[in-house]
Amino acid sequence: MKDWRWAFVGFLYFALALRIGAVELGRGQQTERISGSAGDVLEDDPVGSPVRTLNPEEADWFYTPVYTTCDLTPNGLPLPFKSPRMMRSAIQLISSNWPYWNRTEGADHFFIVPHDFGACFHYQEEKAIERGILHLLQRATLVQTFDTPRSIFVYFRGLFYDVGNDPEGGYYARGARASVWENFKDNPLFDISTEHPTTYYEDMQRAIFCLCPLGWAPWSPRLVEAVIFGCIPVIIADDIVLPFADAIPWEEIGVYVDEKDVPKLDNILTSIPPEVILRKQRLLANPSMKQAMLFPQPAQPGDAFHQILNGLARKLPHDKNVHLKSGEKILNWTAGPVGDLKPW
């Protein structure tokens, strides 16, 4: 791998960041407990690091330490509404005094974003969307340190009807998927479709609830995907037995909905208290949850391979009756359909 280096844009730090420290943080407020601390950390970490260079001509990246969330209210809360002006002033400063921004229009510069650039530039959603990301930053790299916002309430991609195998629609998913479509296709809380976009996994990361209905079989890979991407699985499959129950507390991280109750799915999910949702999301955020569903190479403690071994170990010791007595036979090798008896 090619070694890369970044240039810490010290001129910007002294020209702008210190002014912020003197004026905006003049109240003696600390940034350790606010989003601005992310910038402080990155400022301190590269000092003395081999990836840092003082020669801008050999730098691959330019770090621009503009701390937009260090502008605080008297109560010590971030006040990012001046951020667009602050960012524009910083860019104007470095572009008018040094050649590096102008060479790429910021494509090799990066900013730390400890907040949502759209939402946090205005408290009203409509205004925030209208503002969006600053035009001057369209070529720059924004390193986000905030969690991906979960803006989708209910998400599902897949078949609702299997016309080829069940033309009358009476058997596939025992009607549960058809019921989801018929009841909620026009509900704005439900992002459901048969289309499978290239952003499927990104969408799951932005969803609060991910539907995991049965298909022809009760189990679905969506259960695994939901756990991995931190989306609360909504399990619609009566009497399903889920894997690795000792490592994954399905009752605590998921929501079980009886197949007959699918028409009430919107009421069921919207009635879940926010604190319950947050508790489930915190559990899903535990790395051990994802680890238990994955097969990394080589195997790692707590992964799905070890969960299988643990499951086998729990079945030991074997019952003494598992061993046949001399001459005893239980299996009937001629039982079953004739086609099944043909050699492979």
Per residue in 247-272, pLDDT (tens digit) is 899 999 999 999 999 999 999 999 99
pLDDT range class, residue 133, cuts 50, 70, 90: low
Percent of the chain with pLDDT over 90: 31
Chain centroid to CA 322: how far?
A: 46
pTM (two decimals): 0.58
pLDDT range class, residue 328, cuts 50, 70, 90: confident
Residue 29: pLDDT above 50?
A: no
Question: What pLDDT does residue 81 have?
Answer: 61
Residue 339: pLDDT above 80?
A: no
- Give the residue carrying structure tokens 């994954």: 248
In this predicted model, which residue has the larger pLDDT, 5 or 162?
A: 162
Per residue in 234-247, pLDDT (tens digit) is 999 998 888 888 88
Please name which of 294, 299, 322, 302 lies closest in space to residue 247, comparing C-alpha atoms. Answer: 302
Residue 2: pLDDT above 50?
A: no
Q: Report yes or no: 207 and 165 within 8 Å, Cβ to Cβ.
A: no
Tell me the domains of the chain and their CATH numbers: 6-144 (no CATH), 152-291 (3.40.50.2000)
The tokens of 326 are what? 């001399």
pLDDT range class, residue 325, cuts 50, 70, 90: confident
The tokens of 157 are what? 């991609």
Q: Please, which residues have CB within 8 angstroms of residue 46's CB and are 6 or more apart in sequence?
A: 6, 8, 52, 63
pLDDT range class, residue 99, cuts 50, 70, 90: confident
The tokens of 67 are what? 């701390």
Q: How many CA atoms lie within 13 A of 23 on its CB side?
A: 8
In this predicted model, which residue has the larger pLDDT, 147 or 171?
A: 171
Per residue in 73-95, pLDDT (tens digit) is 665 555 556 677 777 888 888 88
Per residue in 188-227, pLDDT (tens digit) is 999 999 998 888 988 999 999 999 999 888 888 899 999 9
Question: What pLDDT does residue 221 have?
Answer: 85
Average pLDDT over residues 126-143: 60
Query: Facing residues of 61 across strands?
Result: 6
DSSP assignments along 41-73, one per residue = HHHHTTTT-TTEES-GGG-SEEE----GGG-B-
Alpha carbon separation from 302 to 241, 287, 307, 308, 309 (Å, rounded) = 20, 10, 6, 10, 10
Q: Specify the pairing of strand 190-193 against strand 109-113.
A: unpaired
Work out the widest C-alpha separation in the chain, in whole angstroms. 94
Residue 50: pLDDT above 50?
A: yes
pLDDT range class, residue 310, cuts 50, 70, 90: confident
Cis peptide bond upstream of 188, omega within 30: no
Residue 20: pLDDT above 70?
A: no
The tokens of 226 are what? 């939901």
Chain centroid to CA 3: how far?
A: 30
